[in-house]
Amino acid sequence: MTKRQFLNRHAALVVSVVCVLCVALTSTPCGCAVQQDKLKKGRWIKLFNGKNLEGWKVKIAGHKLNDNYGNTFRVEDGILKVCYDEYEKFDGKFGHLFYKDKFSHYKLRLEYRFVGEQSPGGPGWAFRNSGIMMHCQRPESMRKDQSFPVSIEVQLLGGNGRDKRPTGNVCTPGTNIVMDGKLVTQHCIPSASKTYHGDQWVTMEVEVHGNSIIKHIVNGQVVLEYEKPQLDEKDADARKLIKNGDKMLSEGYISLQSESHPVEFRKVELLRLKE
């Protein structure tokens, strides 16, 4: 054995012993944290912990940030619920639950279902209607009476038991997108998904590549694809977010909607596609 081989083997033994001692004494991997962090890359992380709303911020129209009016957003039996049982009337109180961090390149996966009856006073179009808002503006930047954040919405719809009503559509509050090489200014564009009637659970995935391709995936099937999400300069709230003439959206926050119909989420997790 050469001197260099002896020293390398000795150094490796020292590192192993230190790691074992750190774990034994503090239950923290100490210097081994770098190795463990590398192992975590590429794994799904839970945005919703199944216990409480830790890591999330509430913004309801007409109310200050983190005023969870009527206990709208709550966790019961491991389910993240959007409820209106403490409302007398919906009265335009559109709400959003924001995750604390912003993201750019990722896959988001959640399971949702619509339940119960719509809140009195909820608009007709909001029947079994909710959404996932991507590339959102900061919740702190929203006006107190602002109903929807500037964002790209993955619209979640439930069937009414009769008509065709696809889910995984795209809507664009304060934004525009590009499809087939053309700028689309239409507010909502339907997907190719089937209709999901009743209170069944549906798996929704969204694959987001910054300012490039975005895909909506329902129960494993790609139902919609578009690119180049951007701010709409004709929208007053969006105009405030345009910096140095750059309208393109490459990152932002994720939020879940409350639009007057009870909805439940039993899984909300994310996979980073790029650091």
pLDDT tens for residues 82-117? Answer: 999 999 999 999 999 999 999 999 999 999 999 999
**210 has a pLDDT exceeding 60:** yes
Residue 76 has which token pair?
């019961």
Residue 2 has which token pair? 């050469």
> pTM of the prediction?
0.85
- Does residue 33 register a pLDDT over 80? no
Q: Which CATH superfamily is 43-272 part of?
A: Exo-inulinase; domain 1 (2.60.120.560)
Q: What's CA 16's distance to the chain center, in Å?
A: 40
Locate the domains of the chain by residue range. 3-39, 43-272
Asked which of 40-44, 135-139, 188-192, 213-217 is least confident by mean pLDDT, the reply is 40-44
**What's the helix, strand, coil split of the chain in %, to 5?**
15, 40, 45
Average pLDDT over all residues of the chain: 89
Let me know: does 75 contact 81? Beta carbons within 8 Å: yes
Hey, what amino acid is at 175?
T
Lowest mean pLDDT among 31-40, 171-180, 249-258: 31-40
3-class secondary structure per residue, 80-107:
EEECCCCCCCCCCCCEEEEEEEEECEEE
Query: Is residue 121 predicted with pLDDT exceeding 70?
Result: yes
pLDDT at 29: 40
pLDDT at 150 over 70: yes
Which pLDDT score is estimated for 153?
98
* Cα separations in angstroms, 23 against 16, 18, 30, 40, 99: 11, 9, 7, 18, 31
Within 10 A of 129 (CB to CB), how many other CB atoms are there?
22
Mean local confidence (pLDDT), 234-244:
97
Confidence of residue 24 (pLDDT cuts 50, 70, 90): very low
- Confirm if 103 and 268 have CB atoms less than 8 A apart: no
